[in-house]
Amino acid sequence: MRWFGPILFLTILFCLIPAAEGAACAVCGRTGSRSYVSEGRHYCSRSCWEKSLPKCSVCARPLAGKYLSAAGKLYCSQRCFDTALPECSVCGSTIRGEYTVALAAEKHFFCPECAKLPHCFVCTLPARLTPLPDRRGICKTCDRDTVTDPARAETLFREVRREVDRLLGSRTPCRLEFHLVGREELNRLLGNRAEGEAGELGLYRLEQTIWQPGNRVEEKCSVYLLDHLPRERFIEVAAHELAHDWQHHAAPGLGDPVRREGFAEYVASRINLKHNRAALNNRMEQNADPVYGGGYRMIRDLARQKGWQAVVEELKRR
């Protein structure tokens, strides 16, 4: 919870005190037969004095007389001050006191009442939600262009896989199955992880069968994504899970969860950039989770220092 800041009411006096002739103007440098003094400085005219005054943060009007100061900014009037106040992202009201700030693709503000609303399962922001059959709720913004048709989801998933293959330089040998599922099915697959990670939107699952004799290993690789994800978030989550498939086959010795999840998040961020959705990466940049957020920033920094291909080869060696 935050406050806009203490409001101070300050005053700059209009009066100028005549001074002796010959003093240089503090603004234009000219000297004249008469000058004026304000707060120890000389001015040749009222116009030059006004140029020296601080300006309103909204309308740029010189601040003479009474003005407002809040959060390090100055305002000439209550009207200008009100335009700088945040508006609630839900109800649209001007927030004059305490408020909540949340960062998703962009910064959002919530008044105390709207901050108590239930959270959207996609963006995790408080909102007036549309209920889904499995007790999830989705906000109006996220409910635009959601992926609910299995055939459309399959096609989109295959497109993302081709993009991830090009990014990583190879395709994994496993025949990868795709499933569009609801929350209950995803939680069942997550098992004992479901309760603590109920916000997960996707899952990469590997099943191995060892056949005797000969100890022949048969693998089944699957990706499960939640239905009702917005198209852009569907692409991001699909890229994350596809990065895990690549890790299993190309870097099987990568046991560090920070590197595993950080790499998957970074791959997803690269796909976001390819689709001109850099704002989606704000969530990763600001994520305080040490595994997902910390891991993403670690891989991001390595890619900046060494280059993307060097990071890929290093993970293979691990």
d(CA 224, CA 183) in angstroms, rounded, equals: 11
> How long, in residues, is the chain?
318
Q: pLDDT of 230-282, one tens digit each? A: 999 999 999 999 999 999 989 988 888 999 999 999 999 999 999 999 989 99
Q: In what order do the strands lie in the sheet containing 73-75?
A: 7-12, 65-70, 73-75
Q: List the beta bridge partners of residue 177.
A: 222
How big is the chain by its Cα radius of gyration, in Å?
29
Whether residue 126 contacts residue 132, with contact meaning beta carbons closer than 8 Å, is answered with no
Stated pTM of the model: 0.73
237 closest CA partner among 252, 250, 247, 227: 227
Instruction: Delimit the domains of the chain by residue range.
Output: 2-83, 98-138, 143-241, 251-318
State the pLDDT confidence band at 103, using cuts at 50, 70 and 90. low
> Are 182 and 227 in contact, with CB atoms under 8 Å apart?
yes
Tell me the β-bridge partners of 73.
Answer: 70
Do the beta carbons of residue 89 and residue 109 sit within 8 Å? Answer: yes
Q: How far apart are CA 41 and CA 29, in angstroms?
A: 12
Q: Which of residues 316 and 106 earns the better pLDDT score?
A: 316
* pLDDT, tens digit (0-9, with 9 covering 90-100), for 275-304: 999 989 998 998 999 999 999 999 999 999
State the Cα–Cα distance between residues 64 and 106, nearest whole angstrom. Answer: 36
- DSSP structure string for 15-78: --EEE-TTPPPTTT----S-EEEETTEEESSHHHHHHTS-B-TTT--B--EEEEEETTEEESSH
Return the percentage of the chain with pLDDT > 90, whole number.
Answer: 45
The more confidently predicted of residues 241 and 197 is 241
Nearest to 238 by CA among 169, 293, 178: 178
Q: Please give the average per-residue pLDDT across 53-62, as a whole number.
A: 85
Tokens describing residue 42? 């000389």
Is 38 a residue whose pLDDT tops 50? yes
Q: 3-class SS at 110?
A: strand
**How far is 72 from 211, CA to CA, in rounded Å?**
71
Strands 35-38 vs 41-43: parallel, antiparallel or unpaired: antiparallel
Burial 263-286 (b: 16+ CB within 10 A, else e): bbbbbbbbbbeeeebeebbebbee
User: Could you tell me if 50 and 33 are in contact, meaning their C-beta atoms sit under 8 angstroms apart?
Assistant: no
DSSP string, 114-159: GGGSPBPTTT--B--PEE-TTS-EE-TTTTTTEE--HHHHHHHHHH
> Could you tell me which residues come within 8 angstroms of residue 182 by beta carbon, excluding any fewer than 6 positions away?
133, 134, 226, 227
What's the confidence (pLDDT) of residue 13? Answer: 45
- pLDDT digits 0-9 by tens, 114-126: 999 999 999 889 9
Q: Taking residues 209-222, report their average pLDDT.
A: 72
> Which position has the higher pLDDT, 13 or 77?
77
Q: Over 50: is that where the pLDDT of 31 sits?
A: yes
